[in-house]
Amino acid sequence: MTGREAALDDRADQIARDFISRYEAEWRNGAEAVSRLYAPDAVLVGFVTAIGRSQICELLRGIIAQGWTSIRIKIVNVRQIGGVILIANEYAATGSGENAGKTLNASASHVLIESNGEWLSTLHTAR
């Protein structure tokens, strides 16, 4: 690996860490806050597919309303390809209310793009 490649990898890792930290923090602030981390035309593919911020916000609002009010995300892999950053991760959502004491463990991925100086998810898969 050349010095330039190592620098790009370090930059991609830092961008991924920053994005995931923001995602975890915004989850505590609600669906509207989290949905701002998505590009306007983003796609979230989970148990249903949501297209665009408003549908993503609606989907996240439903998940949070079920009691999944806290999330911890562990980055598994980061790779930059051209102008996008790919993040593979594992997450644990912690329940409250009727889901108190429960934990939902799963995996996900994000494809990040830079828009107006901010890195946003343009494609998010979760299972």
Tens of pLDDT along 24-36? 999 999 999 999 9
Q: Which residue has the tokens 């494809």?
A: 111
Average pLDDT over residues 8-17: 90
Look at residue 59 in the predicted model and tell me its pLDDT: 97
| Secondary element (H or E) of residue 56 | helix 53-65
Residue 110 confidence class, pLDDT cut points 50, 70, 90 = very high
Average pLDDT over residues 46-73: 96
Q: Which CATH number belongs to the domain containing residue 26 in this structure?
A: 3.10.450.50
Q: Which domain holds residue 47?
A: 3-126
Residue 83 pLDDT: 95
Query: Using a CB cutoff of 8 Å and minimum separation of 24, what contacts does 81-86 make?
Result: 83/113, 83/114, 84/111, 84/112, 84/113, 84/122, 85/12, 85/15, 85/16, 85/111, 85/112, 85/119, 86/110, 86/111, 86/112
What percent of the chain is predicted at pLDDT more than 90? 91
Six token digits for residue 40: 């306007």
Q: pTM for the complete prediction?
A: 0.91
Tally of structural domains, the chain = 1
- pLDDT value at 7 more than 90: no
Q: Mean pLDDT, the chain, as a whole number? A: 94
